[in-house]
Amino acid sequence: MNLKQLRMLTNILNLSRNKARFTASEVLPAPDPARKKALAAFLKTAGIRFKSFPLLNLSFMHRSISNESNSKINNERLEFLGDAILGAVAAALLYNNLGSKSEGDLARIKSVVVSEDVLSAIALELRLDSLLILGRGEELSGGRSKKAILADAMEALIGAIFLDSGYKNAFDFVSRFISVEIDRVLENRHYQDYKSLLQEFCQRQYKKYPDYRLLKHSGPEHSRIFWVEVAVNGTTFGPATGPNKKSAEREAAKLAYEALNELHE
């Protein structure tokens, strides 16, 4: 653990000792009876105990709601706090449980288990999407399914748990799902960003970038299929298909990355 990480962990522990100064739930709007019932149902399903329902409710309030209501009340500060706690818990679990791994390996695993993809997937498992409080514009644009918003809400929830009941409870909550994700990485069952992996491979091996080409798309607008191939150092891989261009590119990148890795083993 470097000096910056040590200071971060020290600050979190100091916050835990003085958490009463930071909750300030009395200045937060209390959820109405129907909302409180929904929050209580969530707590029961998620196996979490919570003293302050206004604080819990705050963790689901996206900044778009405060933008539209000219209020400063949203979950961004909780998200900031939760991000630090998440990082500290993940680092502690990796340090304590993977004594044979180098710092580089630990950092790589940590970057995966605290990533937006992982956090948003966990948020969906906990059904945080149904609890989000969004502005009208964000609601209409599909904000409940956006990975960034879901991941941010997950971090805000961690921050709220910490303020409500301290570092140990936040640690226990985070470790429940992070431990599973660490195992997935070790067993190579985790989500992998093949476009990034392929780009890093190409830069390392050939000093070039992969070149994606959209070949065609077919089907009605609500159910299209995109066909993409990728060229790497003169060799073409694909085509691969997907419901949009981005997903088709990911599939093409996976084909290329796996083939090139096998070739260079």
List active site positions: 83, 155
In a 13 Å sphere around the CA of 162, the CA atoms on its Cβ side amount to 31
Written in H, E and C, the secondary structure of the chain is CCHHHHHHHHHHHHHHHCCHHHHCHHHCCCCCHHHHHHHHHHHHHHCCCCCCHHHHHHCCECHHHHHHHCCCCCCHHHHHHHHHHHHHHHHHHHHHHCCCCCHHHHHHHHHHHCCHHHHHHHHHHCCHHHCCECCHHHHHCCHHHCHHHHHHHHHHHHHHHHHHHCHHHHHHHHHHHHHHHHHHHHCCCCCCCHHHHHHHHHHHHHCCCCEEEEEEEECCHHHCEEEEEEEECCEEEEEEEECCHHHHHHHHHHHHHHHHHHHCC
